[in-house]
Amino acid sequence: MSILIKNGRVVDPANKIDAVNIQAQAATIIDAAGKIVASGIIDIHVHLREPGREDKETVASATAAAAKGGVTTVLAMPNTHPAMDCEDNIKLLQGIIKKSALVNVLICGTLTKERLGQELSDIAALKKVGALAISDDGCSVDSDTLMLEAFKKAKQAGLLTVCHCEDKKLSGKGVMNLGFNSTRLGLRGISNESEYKRVSRDIELAAKCGAPVHIAHVSCRESVDIIAAAKKRGVKVTCETAPHYFALTDEDIVDYDTNMKINPPLRAKQDVAAIKAGLKNMVIDAIASDHAPHTENEKDIEFDRAEFGKIGLESGLAISIMELIEKKILSWQELVNVLAVNPAKILGIDKGTLSVGAQADLIVIDAGKEFILEKKSIVSKSKNSPFIGRRLKGLVEYTIYNGKVIYQG
């Protein structure tokens, strides 16, 4: 069945298009007058929780949430139970995806067995069975020798290494950003140093063997500076941030709201400014949700004991519109670049464009539509969003995946 989206403002930076689309005839017509038409979002950092923690999220519920948020491709992080550290486990997840996924789901394998940082996974075997990248996300490999070997093996296999940069010796038992607000709240702090020292190390190790490296969830000023310097000297480094790192600060943790307990933590105002500048200056390549669902039992407890993480598939676009488009940090072309074009390039997939002949993954956005994010309206199985109760702006009206309407708002 053919679908015509007419009268919309088509934003396709890959083809240098920003214009109202032409009219034609089709079996289904969507009038997008006054709306934005763009490629579907490619979210390169999503925790599906299945297999193993279906009480938090499933492939079916997560991909339904993705569709509502305008996301048509996700990269599934490997910290499932069992972890994505061998062929059998990846095949298990592939079977679940085939049966229940609403959008395109790509799989990230583990760097080390069981993500313990002790013994490398069979990286070549993971690539052979279909892994698109490797990571121990949620953990960082402490051994320089083992991490260098991982980069070498990944390069040989043609896989991207995604690095969660955290030195646990420095972050320790911290639960929020180290600073005045952690002292005021009586909570143990996590320093910027625990992130940027490991960012620096991982970039240097990757550079030593010429392997590409992708830095996940960048949150602080020093990390942005280190990545910018590495790019200038030709290191094959890319990075992502997440909407909460340019929309919230540690000052927002006023009432011990555990939905704001995130790793890396919400940082200081100067870090948020650096993240926005990094997006504007194209140091930061992508925006990803770091969608991390948790049950109420894991969140509705004392701040010290609560799990790190928040959901973001359904709110990421609206937050990006409010913080980056409305505040004139990015243009629409630049926003689509970091949400779709660049993530596709980072992963080496043929997506993120509206080119003739490309798979029809696209979204129609009412950028001026305001709504309140209510718990009851969240599609994700878990409801741990720091934006619940907030007035947001920018609503997905249609999500089309592979030529089919999979969500209509």
The per-residue pLDDT for range 269-280, each reduced to its tens digit, is 999 999 999 999
Closest to 380 measured CA to CA, from 56, 38, 104: 56
Average pLDDT, the chain: 96
254: confidence class by pLDDT, cuts 50, 70, 90 = confident
**What is the tens place of the pLDDT at every residue in 27-61?**
688 889 999 999 999 999 999 999 999 999 999 99
In a domain, 371, yes or no: no
**What is the tens place of the pLDDT at every residue in 362-385?**
999 999 999 999 999 999 999 999
Domain that holds residue 318: 40-352+381-390
In a domain, 293, yes or no: yes
Q: Mean of the pLDDT values across residues 66-79?
A: 98
Q: Please list the residues that pair with 134 across neighbouring strands.
A: 109, 161
| The pLDDT of residue 100 is above 90 | yes
Helix spans in 101-191 (H): 123-129, 144-157, 168-171, 180-185
In a domain, 251, yes or no: yes
**Domain total in the chain:** 1
Cβ neighbours of residue 35 closer than 8 Å, sequence gap 6 or more = 8, 9, 364, 365, 366, 367, 397
What does the pLDDT read at residue 26? 65
In a domain, 144, yes or no: yes
In a domain, 167, yes or no: yes
181: amino acid identity, one letter: N
Read off the DSSP letter of residue 15. G
2: confidence class by pLDDT, cuts 50, 70, 90 = confident
CATH number of the domain to which 288 belongs: 3.20.20.140
| The pLDDT of residue 1 is above 80 | no
In a domain, 279, yes or no: yes
84: amino acid identity, one letter: M
Closest to 311 measured CA to CA, from 253, 363, 249, 260: 260
| The pLDDT of residue 183 is above 80 | yes
Q: Mean of the pLDDT values across residues 185-194?
A: 98
Asked, as a colleague might, if the bond just before 82 is cis with ω within 30 of 0, I would say yes
| The pLDDT of residue 24 is above 70 | no
Q: Which residues are catalytic?
A: 290
Q: Is the pTM for the entire model greater than 0.85?
A: yes
In a domain, 19, yes or no: no
